[in-house]
Amino acid sequence: MLTLSQSIENAVSCIRKKTSASPKAGLILGSGLGDFTDSLEDSISVPYCDIPDFPLSTVEGHDGAFVFGNYNGKPVAALRGRLHYYEGYAQNKITMPVRIMKKLGVETLILTNAAGGINLDFSAGALMLITDHINYSGSNPLIGANLDEFGPRFPDVSDIYTKDLRIKLKEAALRDGIVLKEGVYIMYSGPNYETPAEIRFFREAGADAVGMSTVPEAIVAAHCGMKVIGISCITNMAAGVFNVKLNHQEVIESANKVKHDFTKLLHIALNFAA
């Protein structure tokens, strides 16, 4: 069986046969947001299924491919569809794309997701800049042997969502007429949605939004020494806020409704990252 390091090296070698791009900015696109890659120029797609020993995405709204292209003449790497812990993969497997991006030259990672609103001042359609997170997934992608070539055994995560980039992005978004909320994101393992009691607990713990991704990727990015921007699209209010049942189709539809502003925001973020 291949080690994690060997799997990463094999993936990088496979991608290098398709493109010689050295992107400084990387994106991981959440539910319903994969179409953003259509705005990249001269794009090349490398499906996950073409990469040896690489996990496959199984969730609707997550196509499953690396996309390499140019934004304003600068090379960008994007993940069109992410991998999730609840699909049965270990967290060090679902974060392989982050380490692969690092090997390809990425220095700033932009993470996006669809999330449920916990903060009662939020509403569906809001965009939230992640200031910090709570890992309630029950695991951690750095468990196991440390990959010394990427970072230290005990990485600091006190500024995991890079503060100076958050300030610049919020100011630039406001100039463009985009209102950005700010808050703490909590990761729940899924795949079931949270119970109303869990949401009340999360709110008391200081969380503003909840989802089933992003946190492992941010941790690995920090381990790799990357700068990180995290953006949540609040596609619905979390369980118990309203007396309605939650479903994934609603998440996709809500993400589509705010896709215009979200896309503008990603373009703004890339101006700082690429």
Note if 193 is an active site residue.
Answer: no
Which is catalytic among the residues 84, 232, 239, 254? Answer: 84
Q: Catalytic site residue 212?
A: yes
- Which of 10, 86, 107, 250 does the annotation list as catalytic? 86
Task: Pick the catalytic residue from 92, 119, 213, 254.
Answer: 213
- CB within 8 A of 242, min separation 6: which ones? none
Kindly report the backbone phi and psi dihedral angles of residue 132, in degrees, each rounded to the nearest multiple of 5, phi listed first: -170, 170
How is residue 191 written in tokens? 């795949």
Give, as one character, the DSSP assignment of residue 126. Answer: -
Pairwise CA distance, residues 105 & 129, whole Å: 25
108, 57 Cβ separation under 8 angstroms = no
Task: Check 7, 57, 62, 71 and give the catalytic one.
Answer: 62
182 is catalytic: no
- Concerning whether 137 is annotated as a catalytic residue, the answer is no
Q: Are 66 and 79 in contact (CB under 8 A)?
A: yes
| DSSP 8-state secondary structure symbol assigned to residue 208 | S
Is 204 a known active-site residue? no
Annotated active-site residue 213? The verdict is yes
Is residue 107 part of the annotated active site? The answer reads: no
The active-site residue out of 25, 71, 85, 87 is 87
DSSP character for 195? P
Active-site residue identified among 96, 114, 126, 255:
114
Q: In which residue are the tokens 């497997």 written?
A: 93
> Is 114 considered catalytic here?
yes
Whether residue 71 lies in the annotated active site: no
What DSSP character marks residue 129? E
DSSP for 155-194, please give it.
---TTSS-HHHHHHHHHHHHHTT--EEEEEEEEE--SSPP
128, 187, 212, 255: the catalytic one is: 212
In the set 172, 189, 248, 250, the catalytic residue is 248
Active site residue 10: no
CB contact at 8 A, 76 and 20: no
Residues acting as catalytic residues: 31, 62, 84, 86-87, 114, 212-213, 236, 248
